[in-house]
C-alpha cells in the first residue's frame, strides 16, 4: 500500500471530540482515560490529493470570502458518475454545512410543528433529536431482526403507521447506520413507492454510501426513476469517506425544482452561503485526486472488520457480530451478558476502558448492542478486543 493506515497519530491533545477527554468525557460519565472507538471519525491521515490542495491554499495566505466554482460541482458530479453511475444535474446540488444541519433545515422547510416524521430504528440518534428539537412528532418503524441479527424493512408496518399517524416525511438511512445494511434497489423502490402513494416526502441520507464492502452494491436513490426523484431529497458529503467531518460541508441533492427553491429560501433565511475556502478545496481534492487513497482505505478497513469477526468468533463466541455490508461501524450484540443501560456504561467505562457508541443511543431496539468504529489502525482494534476479552473472561470465571 502507498498509504500507511497502521500509523498511530496522537490526537488526545488536539481539539478532537473523539480523542481529547476534555471534550468526550461528557459523553462517558466524566471518564477521561478511554480508548476511543466511538463517533464516526477516522484515525487516518487524509489523502495526498486533499493535503496538497490545502497546502496550496495555506501558502496563498488569504482566506477571504469565496464562492463555489465549476470545478467544485464537476468534482461531485464526476465522483457520483464514476462510483454509482448517477448523473447529478449541477443545478440540483445545494451546499449545506453538514447533513445533520441539513436535516433540520429540511424539517423546517417541508413540515410544520406536530407533523409526524418516520425513522427506522435502531438508527442514528440525531435523526430523532432533530425531529424533537423542531417540535415535530417522531414515528418509529422498527426494523425486523432475525436470530442472526440480519435486518430487514417492515413494509407492512411502515405503510400502516404512515396512514395511522398521518406521516408527512420519512428519514431513510442508506446504507443504514448503525446496522451496516446496504439496501437493495427493490427495497429502496418499495419504500419510495409507499412514500409516493401516500404523499410522504422521502429524505435519503447517503453519507456512508462510498463505504460498501464485499460483494454488496450500493444503489443511490438518485439511480431510481424520475417519479421518485421528484419526491425525494438526497443528503451526501465527503466527511465519512475522506475523514473530513471537521470541514462542515455536505451536498444536498434536490431534483424537484419547487422543492429545491423552497430549500434555498430556508438557507437564505439563515444566511448560509458558500462553504469556507478550505472546505471547497478539500471537496475537490477528495473527489478529483484521491481515488488511490480511497481504494486502499476501503481495503484496510475491510481487513479490520474481517479480523474482528474472526477474533470474536474464536475468543468471544457469545457475542454476535456480522461484518457490515456498508459503513465502517461494527454492530455487536452483547445481549448474552445482560448488559443494559448504566450496567453497560459502567462495564465499558470503568473496567474495559473503551469508548464506544452504546446501542441504546440508537433507540430502544439497540439495547444490549454496541457500535464500534473500525476506521482506525489495526493495533487499536486488537487492543479494544483484547480488553473486552479480558473483561468477559473475568466475569465468566
pTM of the model: 0.97
Query: To 10 degrees, the CA torsion angle through 206, 211, 214, 215?
Result: 40
Q: What CA–CA distance (Å, rounded) separates 16 from 20? A: 5
What's the pLDDT score for residue 273? 87
Which of 242, 264, 289 is where one domain is finished?
289
Percent of the chain with pLDDT over 70: 100
What's the pLDDT score for residue 281? 97
CB atoms within 10 A of CB 373: 26
* Bond preceding residue 175 cis, omega within 30 of 0: yes
If you average pLDDT over every residue of the chain, what do you get? 97
Closest CA to 119 of 143, 144, 150: 143
Please count the structural domains in the chain. 2
Determine, yes or no, domain membership for 15.
no
Determine, yes or no, domain membership for 363.
yes
Determine, yes or no, domain membership for 4.
no
Confidence band of 1 (pLDDT split at 50, 70, 90): confident
Q: Give helix then strand counts, H and E, for the chain.
A: 14, 15
Q: Confirm if 227 and 189 have CB atoms less than 8 A apart.
A: no
Whether residue 235 sits in one domain with residue 209: yes
Whether residue 295 sits in one domain with residue 382: yes
Q: What CA–CA distance (Å, rounded) separates 252 from 91? A: 11
What's the pLDDT score for residue 161? 98
Determine, yes or no, domain membership for 5.
no
- 130: part of which helix (H) or strand (E)? helix 125-133
Whether residue 270 sits in one domain with residue 136: yes
Reported as a single tens digit per residue, the pLDDT across 225-269 is: 999 999 999 999 999 999 999 999 999 999 999 999 999 999 999
User: Rounded to the nearest 5 degrees, what angle is found at the Cα of 227, between the Cα atoms of 135 and 187?
Assistant: 75
pLDDT at 397 > cutoff 90: no
pLDDT at 299 > cutoff 90: yes
Q: What CA–CA distance (Å, rounded) separates 138 from 131? A: 6
Determine, yes or no, domain membership for 8.
no
Q: Whole domain around residue 385: which residue ranges?
A: 21-46+291-395
What's the pLDDT score for residue 222? 97
Whether residue 308 sits in one domain with residue 269: no
Whether residue 184 sits in one domain with residue 331: no
Reported as a single tens digit per residue, the pLDDT across 313-360 is: 999 999 999 999 999 999 999 999 999 999 999 999 999 999 999 999
Reported as a single tens digit per residue, the pLDDT across 113-154 is: 999 999 999 999 999 999 999 999 999 999 999 999 999 999
Whether residue 379 sits in one domain with residue 349: yes
Determine, yes or no, domain membership for 324.
yes
Kindly give the interhelix angle for 125-133 and 99-110, rounded to the nearest 10 degrees.
40
Q: What CA–CA distance (Å, rounded) separates 67 from 50? A: 19
Whether residue 280 sits in one domain with residue 148: yes
Confidence band of 31 (pLDDT split at 50, 70, 90): very high
Determine, yes or no, domain membership for 322.
yes
Whether residue 189 sits in one domain with residue 102: yes
Percent of the chain with pLDDT over 90: 98
Which of 241, 262, 289 is where one domain is finished?
289
Whether residue 349 sits in one domain with residue 240: no
Determine, yes or no, domain membership for 58.
yes
Q: Which CATH number fits the domain that encloses residue 312? A: 3.90.1150.10
Whether residue 243 sits in one domain with residue 269: yes
Whether residue 209 sits in one domain with residue 142: yes
Q: Which CATH number fits the domain that encloses residue 213? A: 3.40.640.10
Whether residue 154 sits in one domain with residue 99: yes
Which of 289, 322, 351 is where one domain is finished?
289
Q: Report DSSP state, residue 3.
A: S
Reported as a single tens digit per residue, the pLDDT across 60-108 is: 999 998 899 999 999 999 999 999 999 999 999 999 999 999 999 999 9
What's the pLDDT score for residue 66? 86
Reported as a single tens digit per residue, the pLDDT across 175-232 is: 999 999 999 999 999 999 999 999 999 999 999 999 999 999 999 999 999 999 999 9
Q: What CA–CA distance (Å, rounded) separates 142 from 152? A: 9
Q: What CA–CA distance (Å, rounded) separates 160 from 141? A: 10
Q: What CA–CA distance (Å, rounded) separates 3 from 272? A: 36
User: Rounded to the nearest 5 degrees, what angle is found at the Cα of 374, between the Cα atoms of 176 and 304?
Assistant: 115
User: Rounded to the nearest 5 degrees, what angle is found at the Cα of 286, between the Cα atoms of 285 and 288?
Assistant: 65
Closest CA to 46 of 218, 209, 287, 372: 287
SS3 176: coil
Q: What CA–CA distance (Å, rounded) separates 35 from 353? A: 6
Amino acid at each position: 500500500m502507498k498509504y500507511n493506515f497502521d500509523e498511530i497519530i496522537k490526537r488526545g491533545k488536539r481539539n478532537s471530540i473523539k480523542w481529547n477527554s476534555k471534550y468526550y468525557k461528557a459523553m462517558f460519565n466524566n471518564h477521561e482515560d478511554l480508548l476511543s472507538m466511538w463517533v464516526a471519525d477516522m484515525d487516518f491521515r487524509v489523502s495526498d490529493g486533499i493535503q496538497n490542495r490545502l497546502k496550496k491554499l495555506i501558502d496563498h495566505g488569504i482566506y477571504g470570502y469565496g464562492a463555489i466554482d465549476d470545478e467544485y460541482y464537476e468534482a461531485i458530479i464526476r465522483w457520483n458518475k464514476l462510483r454509482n453511475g448517477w448523473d447529478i444535474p449541477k443545478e440540483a446540488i445545494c451546499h449545506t454545512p453538514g447533513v445533520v444541519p441539513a436535516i433540520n433545515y429540511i424539517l423546517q422547510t417541508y413540515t410544520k410543528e406536530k407533523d409526524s416524521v418516520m425513522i427506522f430504528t435502531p438508527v442514528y440518534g440525531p435523526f430523532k433529536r432533530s425531529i424533537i428539537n423542531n417540535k415535530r412528532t417522531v414515528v418509529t418503524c422498527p426494523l425486523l431482526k432475525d436470530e442472526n441479527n440480519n435486518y430487514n424493512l417492515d413494509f407492512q408496518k411502515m405503510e400502516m403507521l404512515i396512514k395511522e399517524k398521518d406521516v408527512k416525511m420519512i428519514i431513510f438511512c442508506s446504507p443504514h447506520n448503525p446496522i451496516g445494511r446496504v439496501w437493495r434497489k427493490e427495497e429502496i423502490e418499495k419504500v419510495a413507492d409507499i412514500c409516493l402513494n401516500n404523499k410522504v416526502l422521502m429524505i435519503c441520507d447517503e453519507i456512508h454510501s462510498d463505504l460498501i464492502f464485499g460483494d454488496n452494491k450500493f444503489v443511490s436513490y438518485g439511480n431510481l426513476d424520475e417519479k421518485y426523484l421528484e419526491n425525494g431529497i438526497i443528503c451526501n458529503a465527503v466527511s465519512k469517506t475522506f475523514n473530513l467531518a471537521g470541514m462542515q460541508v455536505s451536498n444536498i441533492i434536490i431534483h424537484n425544482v419547487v422543492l429545491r427553491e423552497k430549500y434555498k429560501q430556508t438557507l437564505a433565511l439563515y444566511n448560509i452561503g458558500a462553504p469556507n475556502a478550505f472546505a471547497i478545496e478539500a471537496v475537490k481534492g477528495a473527489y478529483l485526486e484521491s481515488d488511490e487513497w480511497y481504494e486502499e482505505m476501503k481495503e484496510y478497513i475491510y481487513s479490520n472488520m474481517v479480523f474482528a469477526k474472526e477474533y470474536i468468533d474464536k475468543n468471544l463466541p457469545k457475542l454476535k457480530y456480522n461484518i457490515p455490508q456498508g459503513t465502517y461501524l461494527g454492530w455487536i450484540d452483547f445481549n448474552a451478558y445482560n448488559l443494559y443501560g448504566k450496567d453497560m456504561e459502567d462495564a465499558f467505562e470503568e473496567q474495559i476502558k473503551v469508548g464506544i457508541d452504546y446501542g441504546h443511543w440508537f433507540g430502544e431496539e439497540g439495547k444490549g448492542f454496541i457500535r464500534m468504529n473500525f476506521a482506525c489502525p489495526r493495533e487499536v482494534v486488537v487492543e479494544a478486543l483484547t480488553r473486552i476479552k479480558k473483561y468477559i473472561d473475568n466475569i465468566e470465571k
